[in-house]
Amino acid sequence: MSYGVVFTETAVEMLLEVSSRRDQQAVRKRIHEVATDPEHLGKALTGELAGYWSTRAGGQRYRIIYHLDASRQLLTVLALGLRSEGSRSDIYVRATQMFGK
């Protein structure tokens, strides 16, 4: 059974920051793929982002961070962006600043 998908306002803004239309489409397509089986097509995050999930998109350059509500069958896209390890603009760094524990 597929999960419903909702985007936070922040996630919508981040999607609009994706530089090319092609990458935006790849990210959207991946989100809808993940909604069919979010626990197997994504990875549970640890550390400060424990409780959230992540998946790759756009040739593995982008990461999509989401939350699952299994009781409501709802996938909430919280943030997305480029994986730039070691950079302050890395999506995991930004996500930790936004909603890290």
What are the φ and ψ backbone dihedral angles of 17, each rounded to 5 degrees?
Answer: -75, -20
Residue ranges covered by each domain of the chain = 4-99
**Alpha helices, DSSP H, located in the chain:** 9-17, 21-34, 38-41, 91-99
The average pLDDT across 11-26 equals: 91
Say what the pLDDT of residue 58 is: 81
pLDDT digits (tens, 9 = 90+) for 42-101: 999 999 999 999 999 987 789 999 999 999 999 999 999 999 888 888 999 999 999 876
The string over 49-87, giving b where at least 16 C-beta atoms fall within 10 Å of a residue's C-beta and e elsewhere, is beebbbbbbbeeebbbbbbbeeeeebbbbbbbbbeeeee
pTM for the predicted model, two decimal places: 0.92
Domain 4-99 has CATH 3.30.2310.20: yes
Two tokens, residue 5: 């998908």
